[in-house]
Amino acid sequence: MKTLLQRSYALLVMIGFLFFMITDKAECADWLMILENEEGVFYADRDTALKNTASVKVKEARELSVLKNHKVIQRYLEVVEYDCNAKKQRVNHILTYNTSGEVLLKTNGNAPWENIGTDQKAKVFFDSACRQQ
């Protein structure tokens, strides 16, 4: 049990470091587990940033998904912007890792704005980012 806790802690430290590398921010993420289901365990960084983009106030959130039973992908990190008033989101960065820890996909750039879907995970991430308007 102690070894499992040590490995979990080491994994979270490594993930924080990797997020530092993809977001160019000096601070480490303060991860909060927001959902666990049969798909995986999902974390949100407690520190969301409020910023103005083209006269719209948006929240920028860092999100971590650790998948339980996916055959190829083990985890992915995302930087997502939320327009809390319009209930929309767009993904700015994605970093996807396989089960061996190798990077499978790295994207940079703004995706188009999308409505928050009916998916439980999407709603929980949205609520986590936008709860403090």
- Taking only the tens place, the pLDDT of each residue in 25-83 is 434 678 999 999 999 999 999 887 766 656 567 888 999 999 999 999 999 999 999 99
Question: Quick one: pLDDT at residue 52?
Answer: 60
Under CATH, to which class is 2-130 assigned?
Answer: mainly beta
Question: Quick one: pLDDT at residue 15?
Answer: 53
Residue spans of the domains in the chain: they are 2-130
Q: Give percent of the chain with pLDDT exceeding 70.
A: 72
Question: Quick one: pLDDT at residue 21?
Answer: 45
Question: Quick one: pLDDT at residue 119?
Answer: 87
Question: Quick one: pLDDT at residue 59?
Answer: 86
Q: What would the DSSP string read from start to end of the chain?
A: -HHHHHHHHHHHHHHHHHHHHHHT-SSPP-EEEEEE-SSEEEEEES--EEEEETTEEEEEEEEEEEESS-SSEEEEEEEEEEETTTTEEEEEEEEEEETTS-EEEEEESPPPPEE--S-HHHHHHHHHHHS--
